[in-house]
Amino acid sequence: MAKRDAVLAALREIPWFHGLADGDARALIAAGSAKFYVPGAKIYREGDDCDRLAILLRGALTVEREDSQGNALRVGVIRAGELAGEMGVFDPATRNATVIATVESTILEVARDKLLAMRAANPMLLVAIANVALNNAMTRMDGVNDRIERELRRSKAPKIVKLRPGQAHPATPAPAVDTAEQPRLKKLWAKLTRF
């Protein structure tokens, strides 16, 4: 009972949970299970089936992906109150990242089928979680689109042009020089290039 109260109190601190009824909170706790992880523990692995949602109640998690050489790249962090696995819960897929506890962490984990089964009895809870997943997806979508734009612009960047001696770069306009100054500049140039 004390553990359940502690989980309830932690849920109540999450901003997106504020407007939900006590009944929704208790239903979520009853459907899920609270789990504790030590630092370094792998909670989820890239490539596994994503059939559970995790709400981080306390602590911090690191999100990593493998690059083409198999090296682990840190791609993000999950802070208290945030979700892990929410996208796979709504649109089934394999996990696209590994989630590791950075510090001692407590999560409330709910299986996908149990979460979706709460649709009739706790619709506002499901709407709230779906809304968090939606906002997360849109925020990340903005970042990905920005990167696509940058990569496309970079591929359009002017190439390095090899110039022949004496040839001016086509993009560089010739400086405007007063004609009265030209004899003096010519003499100076001759002096500088004598060697």
Structure tokens at 159: 């190439």
Should residue 145 be labelled a site residue for other proteins when binding is judged by CB under 8 A? yes
Estimate the share of the chain in helix, then strand, then coil, as percent rounded to the nearest 5. Answer: 40, 25, 35
Of these, 9, 30, 134, 188, which contacts other proteins (CB under 8 A)?
134
Largest Cα separation within the chain, whole Å, is 96
Should residue 23 be labelled a site residue for other proteins when binding is judged by CB under 8 A? no
Report CA 141 to chain centroid distance, whole Å. Answer: 9
β-pair partners for 106: 36, 58
In whole angstroms, the minimum distance from the beta carbon of 140 to other proteins comes to 6
In whole angstroms, the minimum distance from the beta carbon of 50 to other proteins comes to 10
Write a three-state SS string for 5-72: HHHHHHHHCCHHHCCCCHHHHHHHHHHCEEEEECCCCEEECCCCECCEEEEEEECEEEEEEECCCCCE
Should residue 47 be labelled a site residue for other proteins when binding is judged by CB under 8 A? yes
Of these, 30, 103, 124, 188, which contacts other proteins (CB under 8 A)?
124
In whole angstroms, the minimum distance from the beta carbon of 67 to other proteins comes to 8
Question: Within 13 A of 141's CA, how many CA atoms are on the CB side?
Answer: 7
Helices 22-31 & 2-12, crossing angle to 10 degrees? 120
In whole angstroms, the minimum distance from the beta carbon of 172 to other proteins comes to 24
**Segment near other proteins (CB under 8 A); pick from 5-13, 64-72, 105-113, 170-178:** 64-72
User: Which one, 10 or 87, has the nearer CB to other proteins?
Assistant: 87
Residues that bind other proteins in the complex, under the rule CB under 8 A: 47, 65-66, 68, 87, 90-91, 93-94, 96, 119, 123-124, 126-127, 130-131, 133-134, 137-138, 140-141, 144-145, 147-148, 151-152, 155-156
